[in-house]
Amino acid sequence: MTDSAKSFYNLLTKYRMALFGFATIWIFFRHVFFFNLESYGMIDFITQIGDCGVDIFLFLSGFGCFYSYRNNLDISLFYKKRTIRILPTVVLLLVSFSLIDCFFWGNSIKNLFSPFRYFYSIYAVYWFIGAIIFFYLSFPLLYKVVSRHPLQTVLVSYIIAVICVYIINVVDINITKSLNLYFARIPIFILGIVFAKYNTLFNRKRAILILTFISIPLLFILPKDYQRIAYSVFSIGIISVLPNFFDYTPHIVNRGVSKIGECSFEFYIIHIFAFNHALVKIFFVNDLPFLGGGVSLVVIVFVSFLFHKLITVIQEKMKCFLI
């Protein structure tokens, strides 16, 4: 690893949680825009492409998985760690949401024990859970393929993404629509693994900058399902710049954004539930732009932080049995 690559790797590692936090906030305001709760005028174009926050999540996940797996190369240990990371969060939150639906929205108590309901929630409603499970399960194979054929794997991932999105749209079966979200994110997860293995790619700042600017028009002119594929290129540019930005921002800002990053997985699931059940609407006032988004963001962060603390205790207990 060259000195400049090592320097950027250290920055990326140092501000990893801050990057997660930034992505979390961006996704939140993307959904504010998506649900037409508030307009931010001239910066609406930034919130409109907030789905890039998901790509930042997945890039960092692929990046982190590479080092976690490379340092041990134990498949069973890798899966145990991912299980401890995901299972308590998913079970606790989805069961909690089912209880809320039963007692406050009048849904049948049978839904609480419906495997299909939980499967559909993971697959479609909270699709990020399904996507991250899919990528984690396939990671050991992806690790081997990327290690041997990095460039070819990246190219094939884009081809697969485009072809699969096209087929799903042509077939037009409602239940398969969510798969577009999965296939469109294959390239960014692969890129996370590739950039982890070849850190010197971050040194090619001019190439990254050119590709980032070329991708910007595609984020707005392509059909939505293909825009998601283009997000991967733009997100690499964002990731290559943000660590340097955080190196100059006040410590208190970095610490606050990092705290959000620590509970980002819980936040993602909770905020989707809040938007889908219109719970955030109570904070929005038409005459006070930014207030509704700011207040609801703080409330959801607080709830997510509490769940994160509880889940952390559960995860520590699970480690005693599984690792």
Q: At what angle do helices 224-246 and 150-171 cross, to 10 degrees?
A: 140
Q: Which two tokens stand for residue 42?
A: 């001239």
Model confidence, pTM: 0.93
pLDDT of 276 strictly over 60 = yes
Average pLDDT over residues 190-206: 91
Tally of domains within the chain? 1
Q: What is the pLDDT of residues 219-274, one digit of tens each?
A: 989 998 999 999 999 999 999 999 999 989 999 999 999 999 999 999 999 999 99
Among the listed residues 225, 117, 118, the one whose alpha carbon sits nearest the alpha carbon of residue 181: 225
Q: What is the pLDDT of residues 79-96, one digit of tens each?
A: 999 999 999 999 999 999
* pLDDT for position 50: 92
* pLDDT for position 25: 95
First CA to last CA distance, the chain: 32
pLDDT of 61 strictly over 80 = yes
Q: Residue 92 in contact with residue 83, Cβ under 8 Å? A: no
Q: What is the pLDDT of residues 256-268, one digit of tens each?
A: 999 999 999 999 9
| Residues spanned by the domain of 27 | 3-322
**What percentage of residues in the chain have a pLDDT greater than 70?**
96
Looking at per-residue confidence, does 272 or 287 come out higher?
272
